[in-house]
Structure formats: C-alpha cells, structure tokens
C-alpha cells in the first residue's frame, strides 16, 4: 500500500491477493475491456495502477447489486448515467426472481409432504401442482376435486389462504375439511397473518373443519380486530352450540353485519334454557340502548322473533306498545304469529327462564 492510502503499481497476482478477485476474473475483466491494467512489465505481465484498483472495487460493488458485467461497463463508461431507472429495473427483476424461487420452494415442499414412494408419485404431484397453479379458476377447481387429487394438507392450506375465487376456495375448504390430520395446524399461519384477507380465508376454512381443535382456534379468532373474522368465528362457534359466541352475535345484529344469520344462530343457542334468558336480555338491552335508531331496533326485534316462542313472547307483547309505531307493528305481528303457532301445536316451548 502507498503511504497516502493508495496502491502502488502492482502485478496481477498481488492485486488478486489484496482484492479477493481471482486472477482468472481479472483477466476476464481485461478481455471485456471492463478493467484494463494501465501498463505492462518488460516481461509482458499486467501491471495495475491506483486508478485500476479503484475501478476493480467499483465493478465488484456493482456486481453485488446484481448488475451484469455488460451493464457495469455501460455504467462506468457513462459519467452522466442516472442510476434510478436501472435500480428500479433491478428491483423488479429481483422481485420476479424471488417470486419464482418461492413458487419452486412451495412446489418442492408439496412434493416432500406427499411422501412419494417413487417417481411416478412425484410426477403425479407435479401435474397436480400445474393444475392448481393454472390462471383459469375452473381448471384449479377441477384439479382440487379430481378423484386422484390427493392434495397434501399443507398445500391445501397455503392455497386457501391465497385463493380469491369463491368457487375454487370452496372446493379447497371442502378438501381440507376431509383431511385426516394437520388441517387446523396448517391454517395457523393464516390466523396469525398481518394480511386480513388471509385471516378471513383461514377462519372460513376452520368453520368447516369439525372437532375440538378447530373450535379452539375459532375461539381465538373471535378476538380478532377485524369484524369479518370475528363474525365468521362467532357464526361457526354458535352453530356448534358454544355460548361464548353470543355477545359477538348480538353485536352483529346491532351492526347489521350478517344480522340474519347471527339472529338465526342466536335462536338456536337460546333453545338451551340455561342460555335463553341471557341472550334475550342482551337483545332487550340493545333495544334500550338504541332508542331513536329504527334500523337497529328493527333488527333486534327480528332477532327476538328467532328465539323460542315462550322466551320471546313476553318481550314482543311489551314491544307491541312501543313508542315507535314501526317497531310496535312488527313486534305485534311476530307475537301474534307465535301465539297462533302455539295454539296450533297445542304445546308450549321451553319454560320462560
């Protein structure tokens, strides 16, 4: 090294040792005209000056950004070259390469998860993956539903979290619900995703999977910050007879989010005498809290009408005298309908708790 921080004029072997660039690559740079040594010794050996060494380091730095040697030559030869366009192009190229690599990794993991017994099995899985990766939604759906599909559970879950077509998504959920193991665990990354669409797809898939493991995952999802995720979880839990879904279901009626389905599930939960009074009281509290909001109160009255007759009848009779005439007429109509049903059946519903 020179005393001022530069390099003395040195031969190619010493340049290679100090720079970490092989002599073969240095000769290649010379042949391309990318870095030509300033001089030659009397014996014809390449001799590099300070400026040559700096250019070598510039080349190596640009190579770390993914530039080809041809591009590097253009950059270094044009002092007015603007880097922004080229850097943007490199970003897009790198993103595309990463996407292709991720697709390959997914394909390899799917083949690995299928535990193939031979190359015929590997080829079957690869063919299946081609179908599942088709841009045509109908082709993807056919691939899932094919009798010999046998899609690995992990791949099913990954595709569910990414699939936007409702028909294909339904076929994927159907297949996953029939998997004999690991279905819930495979959806766990979706439930914890920052992507709200992935969480929504995960909870819809969980709703179709039977068993306590899926119910436990749905119970966690009912605390999700997204109202749609909470709603799907509450509807699924309520349909399984889980009372912890009731507060969220009442909130869905109030908000008008899938309120008809929520009211029906609340009615089903209220068939249990131990829950009926609490659900009825929550709906009545909602009526009191939203005086002046006709739309909300009408939804709550309709939800009360889904309750077993003896549970709802007293409240509906009282609401028949409500100050709001629309609420009063609707409640009176529902009360009369329940009374007629009871008279026709000659029986009464569960005792009013």
Q: What is the dihedral of CA 237, 240, 243, 247, to 10 degrees?
A: 40
CA–CA separation, 142 and 171 (whole Å) = 9
CA–CA separation, 336 and 339 (whole Å) = 5
Alpha helices for the chain (secondary structure H): 12-19, 23-32, 50-63, 69-77, 83-113, 119-132, 137-145, 153-162, 166-177, 183-191, 196-207, 212-221, 227-239, 246-255, 259-269, 273-289, 294-305, 309-319, 325-345
Predicted confidence (pLDDT) at residue 97 exceeds the cutoff of 80: yes
Nearest C-alpha neighbor of 335 from the set 287, 323, 249, 322? 322
Residues 6+ apart with CB under 8 A from 126: 107, 111
What per-residue confidence (pLDDT) applies to 87? 86
Q: What are the C-alpha distances in Å from 269 to residues 216, 242, 272, 308, 310? A: 18, 8, 6, 10, 14
Predicted confidence (pLDDT) at residue 22 exceeds the cutoff of 50: yes
What per-residue confidence (pLDDT) applies to 146? 82
Three-state DSSP state, 209: coil
Q: Which fold has domain 10-81?
A: Multidrug-efflux Transporter Regulator; Chain: A; Domain 2 (1.10.1660)
Q: Which residue has the higher pLDDT, 113 or 29?
A: 29
CA–CA separation, 88 and 94 (whole Å) = 10
Q: Which residue do the tokens 């253009």 mark?
A: 74
Q: How would you classify the pairing of strands 10-11 and 46-48?
A: antiparallel
Residues 6+ apart with CB under 8 A from 20: none
Q: Which residue has the higher pLDDT, 345 or 307?
A: 307
CA angle 222, 227, 229 (to 5 degrees): 55
**Residue 352: which pLDDT band, with cuts at 50, 70 and 90?**
very low
Average of per-residue pLDDT across 256-260: 94
- Give the chain's end-to-end CA distance (angstroms, integer): 94
Q: Which residue do the tokens 């549970």 mark?
A: 311
Predicted confidence (pLDDT) at residue 150 exceeds the cutoff of 80: no
Q: What are the C-alpha distances in Å from 279 to residues 69, 83, 240, 353? A: 72, 65, 16, 11
Lowest mean pLDDT segment, chosen from 28-37, 75-84, 292-301:
75-84
CA–CA separation, 312 and 353 (whole Å) = 11
* Most confident region among 7-21, 86-100, 144-158 by mean pLDDT: 86-100
CA–CA separation, 287 and 300 (whole Å) = 7
Q: Which residues of 160-183 are buried (b: 16+ CB within 10 A; e: fewer)?
A: bbebeeeebbbbbbebbbebeeeb
What per-residue confidence (pLDDT) applies to 298? 96
Nearest C-alpha neighbor of 299 from the set 324, 327, 277? 327
Per-residue HEC secondary structure of 9-72 comes to: CEEHHHHHHHHCCCHHHHHHHHHHCCCCCCEECCCCCEEECHHHHHHHHHHHHHHCCCCCHHHH
Nearest C-alpha neighbor of 179 from the set 191, 167, 187, 168? 187
């Amino acid at each position: 090294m020179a005393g001022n921080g530069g390099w003395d004029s040195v031969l190619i072997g010493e340049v290679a040792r100090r720079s970490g660039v092989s002599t073969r690559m240095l000769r290649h740079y010379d042949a391309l005209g990318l870095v030509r040594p300033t001089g030659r010794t009397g014996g014809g050996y390449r001799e590099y000056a300070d400026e040559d060494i700096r250019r070598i380091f510039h080349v190596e730095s640009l190579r770390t950004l993914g530039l080809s040697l041809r591009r590097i030559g253009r950059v270094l030869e044009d002092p007015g070259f603007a880097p922004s366009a080229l850097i943007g192009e490199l970003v897009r190229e790198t993103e595309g390469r990463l996407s292709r690599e991720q697709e390959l990794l997914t394909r390899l993991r799917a083949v690995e998860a299928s535990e193939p017994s031979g190359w015929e099995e590997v080829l079957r899985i690869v063919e299946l993956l081609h179908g599942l990766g088709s841009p045509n939604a109908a082709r993807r759906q056919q691939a899932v539903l094919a009798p010999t599909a046998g899609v690995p559970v992990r791949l099913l879950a990954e595709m569910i979290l990414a699939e936007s077509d409702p028909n294909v998504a339904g076929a994927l959920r159907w297949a996953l619900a029939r998997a004999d193991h690991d279905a819930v665990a495979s959806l766990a990354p979706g439930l914890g995703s920052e992507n709200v669409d992935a969480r929504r797809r995960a909870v819809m898939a969980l709703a179709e999977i039977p068993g306590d493991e899926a119910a436990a995952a749905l119970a966690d999802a009912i605390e999700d910050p997204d109202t749609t995720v909470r709603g799907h979880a509450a509807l699924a839990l309520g349909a399984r007879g889980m009372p912890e879904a009731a507060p969220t279901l009442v909130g869905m009626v109030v908000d008008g989010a899938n309120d008809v389905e929520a009211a029906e599930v609340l009615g089903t939960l209220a068939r249990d005498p131990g829950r009926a009074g609490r659900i009825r009281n929550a709906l009545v509290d909602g009526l009191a809290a939203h005086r002046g909001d006709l739309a909300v109160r009408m939804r709550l009255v309709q939800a009360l009408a889904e309750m077993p007759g003896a549970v709802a009848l007293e409240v509906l009779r009282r609401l028949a005298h409500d100050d709001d005439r629309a609420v009063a007429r609707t409640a009176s109509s529902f009360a009369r309908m329940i009374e007629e049903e009871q008279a026709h059946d000659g029986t009464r519903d569960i005792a009013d708790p």
